[in-house]
Each structure stands twice: as C-alpha cells, then as structure tokens.
Amino acid sequence: MFQIRIHGRGGQGVVTAAELLSVAAFQDKQHAQAFPSFGSERTGAPVVSFCRISVDPIRLREPVLEPDAILIQDPTLLHSIDVFAGAKSDGYMLINTTKSFADLGIEEFVANRPKERNLIVPASDIAMKHVGRPMPNAALLGGFAAATQKVTLESVVAAIEERFPAKIAAGNVAAAIEAYEFVMEELKEVSHVATN
C-alpha cells in the first residue's frame, strides 16, 4: 500500500487533489481511497487530505500517519504545522515553490534523503500560466505521477477531465502535463549529477 498526505490551505483544492489522485489510481485498475482531514475548513486555513493506493482492497480507516509521499501545496505551511510528521526516510516529498530547499529552511530535512524523491515543482506558476489562477493541485499531481510512477499521467489527465467542465479541465490538464515534464527533467538532472 502506498500512502499520500497532501498539505495546503482551504481554497487550494487540497481535498480535490486527493480525490483526483484516487480516481487516477482507479483508472489504472488499482484500489484507492481518498478522504479529507475533517474539520471546519475555511479559505486560507491549513487543510490536509489523504490518499491510499493499493493492489488489494483497502479496509484501513485511519488517517495517513506514515506517508510514503507528502505533497505540499503551500510552502508557507512549513513553519506553522509539522508537514513532515511521520515522513519515511526514503519517502517522496513534492513541494510547490520556486525557491530552493535552503531558502525554504528545509535543507536539513532533505539532506539525508534520496535526491530523486525530494522535488521542487513551481506548481502555482505553472497553474497561473494554464489555469489563470494559482491553483497548484493539478500540477502537483502531474509531478507526483512523474516522481513516483504510482499513477500514469494519462489517468491523472482522465481524472481531471472527468471532474471539471471542459474549459477548466483543459487548463488543469495542461498544467499537469507541464509539471510532469518539469519533474521528468528534474529527475534527469538529479541522475546526471549522481553519475558524474
């Protein structure tokens, strides 16, 4: 079972992201479960959502406590809540930012972790370009597909198209694809550095 935790703020589509991811996994003939952290969510307040992906049917009903992947939609959350709680040492982390890990003050966290599993995705910028609003969720899902290969890009695209009206879907699909390609490039650079 592969477990994902998504951090963001109310209004950023945090819950939608987990749901889309579960639909993508379902499209890929896997079993998936998506659910929000429950609370009185408001625009701007920290929000958490979860997704489980498995080859077997999922019966477990606890929050994701030890995520295999953490998606951070808003880097300003880094120092207000413990987004890395329960993080695995070889887990994935994708963060929506244009800054470096050092600028974000999380150099220490990423230092001893596999480089190809800690990735920066300028998801808000990519969303501005394609969606016209800084909605980072679809882009981060594209990045997630590239980094983990736990869902296919095709299924992420299909999930977005199923969820939104054609015009909104088109922008989000473009954002997901660009982020996917961005992360594929990022991974190439990481492996290039590693082999030299």
The one among 35, 84, 101, 109 contacting another protein by CB under 8 A: 35
Nearer to another protein, 68 or 125 (CB): 68
Among 3, 33, 73, 137, binds another protein (CB under 8 A): 33
Q: Is 39 in the site for another protein (CB under 8 A)?
A: yes
Contacting range for another protein; rule: CB under 8 A; set: 17-25, 77-85, 86-94, 125-133: 17-25
Site for another protein contains 165 (CB under 8 A): no
Query: Which stretch in 31-39, 76-84, 138-146, 167-175 sits in contact with another protein by CB under 8 A?
Result: 31-39
CB 34 within 8 A of CB 22: yes
19 binds another protein (CB under 8 A): yes
- With contacts defined by CB under 8 A, name the span among 37-45, 97-105, 116-124, 175-183 that binds another protein: 37-45
Of residues 23 and 110, the one with the C-beta less far from another protein: 23
Closest Cα to residue 149, out of 101, 183, 113, 123? 183
Q: Does 22 bind another protein (CB under 8 A)?
A: yes
Question: Which one among 4, 23, 71, 153 touches another protein, defined by CB under 8 A?
Answer: 23
32 binds another protein (CB under 8 A): yes
Stretch 55-94 residues interacting with another protein (CB under 8 A): 58-63, 65
> Counting contacts by CB under 8 A, is residue 36 touching another protein?
yes
Q: Is residue 139 a contact partner of residue 148, using CB atoms and an 8 Å limit?
A: no
- Residue of 140, 146, 147, 139 lying closest to 172 (CA atoms): 139
Say how far apart CA 161 and CA 114 lie, in whole Å. Answer: 33
Backbone angles phi, psi at 57, to 5 degrees: -55, 145
The enclosing H or E element of 47 equals strand 46-54
Q: How far apart are CA 187 and CA 147, in angstroms?
A: 8
d(CA 58, CA 96): 29
- Consecutive H or E run containing 72: strand 69-72
CB 143 within 8 A of CB 21: no
Stretch that binds another protein, among 19-27, 108-116, 120-128, 140-148 (CB under 8 A): 19-27
Q: State how far Cα 170 lies from the chain centre.
A: 19
List residues near another protein by CB under 8 A.
Answer: 18-19, 22-23, 26-27, 31-36, 38-40, 58-63, 65
